[in-house]
């Protein structure tokens, strides 16, 4: 006959937060999974499965923070490019302003207009925008 493992009481919300925060700090310090799970078992009498669950939550928190930081850095970069663009225009350095404008367009995914020597205007679309336009064109064609 199998013996049942004794049930641990469910962690309170405060304990859960403490576990996630502690594991998050350990991840930041470079601890590896085995060390974190061993720590959880020794200090919190936690099963491997529970430790993995809290480890997953801590990693998800880390991913959210990294994503927020990336968004912030993206906006800072765009604002810096805009500032540089306007400064180049004020100095009448139109070649530099054009280069910066192209970079802004590339970073933000804005359509790019190229004027060639014959005066024709070519519009470059992002891959997503191109697919949308093709689908729109095909829908209109089917209606006819």
pLDDT of residue 122: 58
pLDDT of residue 121: 54
Full DSSP string of 37-56: HHHHHHHH---HHHHHHHHH
82 alpha-carbon distance from chain centroid: 22
Alpha helix segments (H runs only) across the chain: 13-28, 33-44, 48-90, 94-108, 127-143
- Three-state DSSP state, 119: coil
Flag whether pLDDT at 62 surpasses 90: yes
User: Which pLDDT tens digit goes with each residue over 36-58?
Assistant: 999 999 999 999 999 999 999 99
113 beta partners: 123
pLDDT band at 140 (very low <50, low <70, confident <90, very high): confident
């Amino acid at each position: 006959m199998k013996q049942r493992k004794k049930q641990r009481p469910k962690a309170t919300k405060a304990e859960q937060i403490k576990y996630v925060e502690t594991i998050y700090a350990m991840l930041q310090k470079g601890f590896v999974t085995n060390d974190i799970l061993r720590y959880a078992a020794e200090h919190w009498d936690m099963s491997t499965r529970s430790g993995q669950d809290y480890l997953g939550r801590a990693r998800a928190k880390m991913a959210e923070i990294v994503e927020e930081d990336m968004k912030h850095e993206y906006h800072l970069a765009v604002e810096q490019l805009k500032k540089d663009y306007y400064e180049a225009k004020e100095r009448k350095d139109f070649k530099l302003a054009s280069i910066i404008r192209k970079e802004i367009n590339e970073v933000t995914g804005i359509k790019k207009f190229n004027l060639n020597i014959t005066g024709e205007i070519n519009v470059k679309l992002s891959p997503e925008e191109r697919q949308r336009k093709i689908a729109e064109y095909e829908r209109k064609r089917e209606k006819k």
